[in-house]
Amino acid sequence: MRLLVNAAIAAGVAVTAAQTPAAAAPNPINTIKVPCSISALHNSITAANANTAVLKLAPSCSYNLTSPLPTITGRVTLKGLNSSIKRASTAGPFRVLDVALTGDLTVEDVFVMNGLLGIGDGAGIRNAGKLHLRRVTVAGNFAQLGNGAGLYNSGRATVRNSIFTTNLALAGTGAGIHNNGDLHLIDSTVAGNALNAQGAGIFTATGRTSKVVRSVVNGNLSASQTGAGIASAGTTSLDNTWVRLNKSIGAGGGVLVLPGGVVTLHRTGVRDNNPDNCFPANAVQGCVN
């Protein structure tokens, strides 16, 4: 470095601080420790919506909500450690987490539970913006008339190492996950969800895309219609994934391809579903009934 400076001076070039300005330091992301208090969680989300923040939830805390949390409108991270965010059993109906079109929510190591909706989509989580889930369990959410009891996605959702289980939709589609946007589901489990319509595990809407990689869609139930494991009116790709032991009253116990829909398998097993693995026959290349 000294040789370069000396060479520049020798050539008559002035070396000044103005010629090599110091790089501006990046703005640090605000980190807020959230005590095990519902009001503290409310206030912290409000602050993070206004100023990007990582909210560190109290370890092993159960935030038992008696009213809805603020809608996520900014860039917010919820970082838990065996932490739960759930609607209290005595509270009225509302969803647990709601992400607006402008919102960008990351959730890590958190249980999202017990959302309840009479009308509306996404009792556990509704996402219209950007959603990132890592090591999240979405369980025990109930949508009476809407879609996506566990997750209703109309934005962009990336889900890793997460579990969707025991979510129930009475009249809508997609008890575990209803995708009406862009979904990437990786290294995750969708199991034990139930509904009366189609897609107890995962439902992909018309014109939308679901990519499922290294995941398991097992033991989901459609109690009165077709398509228990996966129902697709859009494009659904399954890569290195198992679809097993799903059950529907009508056809397509494992995979149901709806009009206009496409389902592709790559290194994927669709086995032991009831009454069949895939419907219509020959609609899914590589699937054997």
Q: Write the pLDDT tens digit of every residue in 100-121.
A: 999 999 999 999 999 999 999 9
At 14 the pLDDT is 35
**CA–CA dist 58, 79 (Å, integer):** 9
Q: Write the pLDDT tens digit of every residue in 2-41.
A: 333 343 333 333 323 333 444 554 556 899 999 999 999 9
Do residues 157 and 182 touch, judged by C-beta distance below 8 A? yes
Q: Where are the domains of the chain?
A: 52-279
DSSP, collapsed to helix, strand or coil, labels residue 62 as: strand
Q: Where are any strands of DSSP class E within 170-224?
A: 177-179, 182-186, 189-191, 194-195, 202-204, 209-213, 216-218, 221-222
- pTM here is 0.90
Helices (H), the chain: 2-10, 38-50
**CA–CA dist 27, 22 (Å, integer):** 15
Do residues 245 and 217 touch, judged by C-beta distance below 8 A? no
Enumerate residues 6+ apart whose C-beta is below 8 A from 287. 254, 255, 265, 270, 277, 278
At 26 the pLDDT is 54
Residues above pLDDT 90, as percent of the chain: 89
Q: Write the pLDDT tens digit of every residue in 150-186.
A: 999 999 999 999 999 999 999 999 999 999 999 999 9
